Structure formats: structure tokens, C-alpha cells
């Protein structure tokens, strides 16, 4: 499923083609007629004043006669894509919604598996009110994260996936950030110390920024930028989808666990389950890196990854 970097990439690429345009027509292909008509009435004639991301949502703010007139709220879910094109001669396969614009172009929302959302909302802020802070904004401080981890008292990975705690993270970037921070996905959030939470915050921000720079990650045929290109961050993964391969930091075989029904990729040396002294950890890392024999002590990988894990 597209996460923060992929959704941010989509927003950045469609924004210049949409802001300032007026919606002149709407075709909705997968909703019941009555729902489609209501959507059409709300958006046709409105002017697009902003296109932005909040968590994994794409928000298209609308105005009429200079006043706010609600928003289109879109979520790509598994297979949704958005792009703006000159009106296609033949119809776009799997197009769920097509919005005609006053410059002759068309905004397409395409979704093979139909889990995505593309709907009008009169009060977008109310709809998004329960989402946690944006990790790339200033509000996401080390102190905030430390307090939140301590207060929630949950396992680290499920907590970081919870959009009410922090916005925009999903399976890929949580696995990557936890490895970079040296934290185990099953660690108790309340036991993460201030030094570790500062590192976790820094690594979350770093991995997201690096992924945005490479226009996100494409490891299957689904995610593509609005220009039709795959993202480039999948080549940089340290653990995600690398079960059975050596850790880039210490050489230990990456294992796959299932945490909250999600495939989870871990280096058990870089990410010890129990807190260890720095000295012991350093010793473990060097002994594992220098001996192939001890690598086999790592638990065997569980069943092969499924497409669901990768969503």
C-alpha cells in the first residue's frame, strides 16, 4: 500500500496541473448512480484551490465564488493511482472517476482492486481530526515521541502503524526505521528510553525524506508515479522484503516475523529483542559478522512473503 513517501510523490506531481483549475465535468464509474450524482453535484463547477497530503490521504480543496466548498478526499489503498492527462481518445482501463478540467485535461482516479476512496467531503478537517502528527513536521519532536511511547504502552511496530499515533507510516517504512534505529518491532513502547526515541524520530524522518527523494518504493506492478514511473527507493531497503538475505550492517540473515498479521523484517543482532548493554551488543555484532556458523542460530524464516504483507 502506498505510504507517506508515495502519496507525497503523487501530490507533488499532480498539484501543479490541478491548482487553479475548475472542474467542468465528472464521470463516476463504480458507485451507485445516486451516489455518483451527489458527488457530481458537489464537485462540478468548483475551483481547485489546493492539493495536499495528510497522512496517506490526498486532499483536493475546493472553492466556489472564493469561498471554501469542501474537498475531495482520496486514498489510494492497495492499487489506486491518480494522474492528469489530456483527454484520452480511448477510455482508461479501471478508471473509477474522471474529472474534466477547464484546460481540457482530465484527472483520472484508477483503481484495479477498488479498495481506494475518492469522495467529496464538506468538512475535511473533521474527517482527518483523529490522525496523529505528521512525522516530517516540527510537531513531531523527540520529546513528543518519548511521551507518546511511554503513555501508549504497546508493542512498537503496531503502535507506529497506528495512524492515530503518527501519520503516514506503513509496513515498509516502519520496518526500515526500526532497523535503522536498532529497535525490535516487538519491543514495549514504554521501555524505549529517551536516547532511543530521539534516534527513532531521526531515523523515521530520514527514511521518509530519502524515499520521497526517490519518488517512493515500487516492488510490484501497482505503485507508479502520476507520470507512470516506478519509485526508486526499493533498491535501498535494509530489511523490508530481504528475509533470507544478509543484513547490510552486520551480515546476519534477515528474518521474517508476523507482527499483528503483518510481515515484519528484522535483523535480530542489530535489533535485539531484549535491551542489552552497548558492550554486549557490539560483541555480538562483531562475532556474528566474523563467523558464518553462528548465523544459523537466527530463527528460520517463516512462510514466504505474501502480496498482502507488501501492501
CB of 183 to Zn ion, least distance (A): 12
Q: Is 281 helix (H, G, I), strand (E, B) or coil?
A: helix
Contact between 249 and Zn ion by CB under 5 A: the answer reads: yes
Quick check: is 191 catalytic? no
Beta strand 95-101 pairing with 80-86: unpaired
Quick check: is 3 catalytic? yes
The H-or-E segment that residue 238 falls in is none
Catalytic residue among 53, 56, 238, 288: 56
Radius of gyration, alpha carbons of the chain: 22
Distance (Å, rounded) from C-alpha 148 to C-alpha 154? Answer: 10
Quick check: is 180 catalytic? no
Distance (Å, rounded) from C-alpha 306 to C-alpha 169? Answer: 20
Nearest residue (CB) to Zn ion, 128 versus 249? 249
Quick check: is 279 catalytic? no
Catalytic residue among 81, 157, 201, 262: 262
CB of 179 to Zn ion, least distance (A): 8
List the grid coordinates of 10.
Answer: 503523487
> 142: exposed, middle or buried (C-beta count within 10 Å: 0-12, 13-18, 19+)?
middle
CB of 288 to Zn ion, least distance (A): 8
Q: Is 170 helix (H, G, I), strand (E, B) or coil?
A: coil
Instruction: Identify residues 250-289 at the interface with Zn ion (CB under 5 A).
Output: 250, 252, 267, 269-270
Catalytic residue among 2, 5, 185, 226: 2
Nearest residue (CB) to Zn ion, 131 versus 186? 186
Segment interacting with Zn ion (CB under 5 A) among 51-59, 86-94, 181-189, 239-247: 239-247
CB of 254 to Zn ion, least distance (A): 8
**CA distance readout (Å), 53 to 7, 23, 25, 68, 230:** 7, 20, 24, 18, 20
> 207: exposed, middle or buried (C-beta count within 10 Å: 0-12, 13-18, 19+)?
buried
Segment interacting with Zn ion (CB under 5 A) among 147-155, 210-218, 219-227, 243-251: 243-251
- Total number of residues that touch Zn ion (CB under 5 A): 7
Contact residues toward Zn ion (CB under 5 A) are 247, 249-250, 252, 267, 269-270
Any idea which residues carry the catalytic annotation?
A: 2-3, 56, 262
Amino acid at each position: 500500500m502506498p505510504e507517506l513517501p508515495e502519496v507525497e510523490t503523487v501530490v507533488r506531481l499532480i498539484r501543479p496541473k490541478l491548482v487553479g483549475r475548475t472542474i467542468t465535468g465528472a464521470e463516476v464509474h463504480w458507485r451507485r448512480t445516486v451516489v455518483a450524482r451527489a458527488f457530481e453535484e458537489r464537485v462540478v463547477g468548483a475551483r481547485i484551490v489546493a492539493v495536499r497530503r495528510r497522512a496517506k490521504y490526498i486532499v483536493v480543496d475546493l472553492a466556489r465564488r472564493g469561498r471554501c466548498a469542501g474537498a475531495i478526499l482520496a486514498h489510494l489503498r492497495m492499487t489506486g493511482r491518480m494522474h492528469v492527462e489530456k483527454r484520452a481518445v480511448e477510455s482508461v482501463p479501471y478508471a473509477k472517476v474522471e474529472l474534466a478540467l477547464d484546460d481540457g485535461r482530465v484527472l483520472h482516479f484508477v483503481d484495479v482492486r477498488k479498495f481506494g476512496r475518492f469522495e467529496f467531503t464538506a468538512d475535511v478537517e473533521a474527517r482527518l481530526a483523529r490522525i496523529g502528527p505528521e512525522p516530517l513536521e516540527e510537531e513531531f519532536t523527540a520529546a513528543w515521541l518519548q511521551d507518546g511511547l511511554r503513555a501508549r504502552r504497546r508493542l512498537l511496530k503496531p503502535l507506529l502503524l497506528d495512524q492515530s499515533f503518527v501519520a503516514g507510516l506503513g509496513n515498509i517504512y516502519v520496518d526500515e526505521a526500526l532497523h535503522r534505529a536498532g529497535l525490535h518491532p516487538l519491543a514495549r513502547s514504554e521501555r524505549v528510553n529517551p536516547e532511543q526515541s530521539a534516534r527513532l524520530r531521526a531515523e523515521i524522518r530520514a527514511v521518509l525524506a530519502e524515499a520521497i527523494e526517490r519518488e517512493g518504493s515500487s516492488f510490484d506492478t501497482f505503485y507508479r508515479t502520476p507520470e507512470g514511473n516506478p519509485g526508486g527507493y526499493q533498491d535501498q531497503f535494509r530489511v523490508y522484503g530481504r528475509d533470507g538475505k544478509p543484513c547490510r550492517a552486520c551480515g546476519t540473515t534477515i528474518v521474517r516475523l508476523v507482527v499483528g498479521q503483518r510481515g515484519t523484517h528484522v535483523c535480530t543482532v542489530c535489533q535485539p529483542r531484549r535491551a542489552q548493554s552497548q558492550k554486549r551488543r557490539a560483541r555480538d555484532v562483531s562475532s556474528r559478522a566474523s563467523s558464518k556458523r553462528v548465523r544459523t542460530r537466527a530463527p528460520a524464516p517463516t512462510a514466504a512473503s505474501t502480496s498482502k504483507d507488501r501492501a
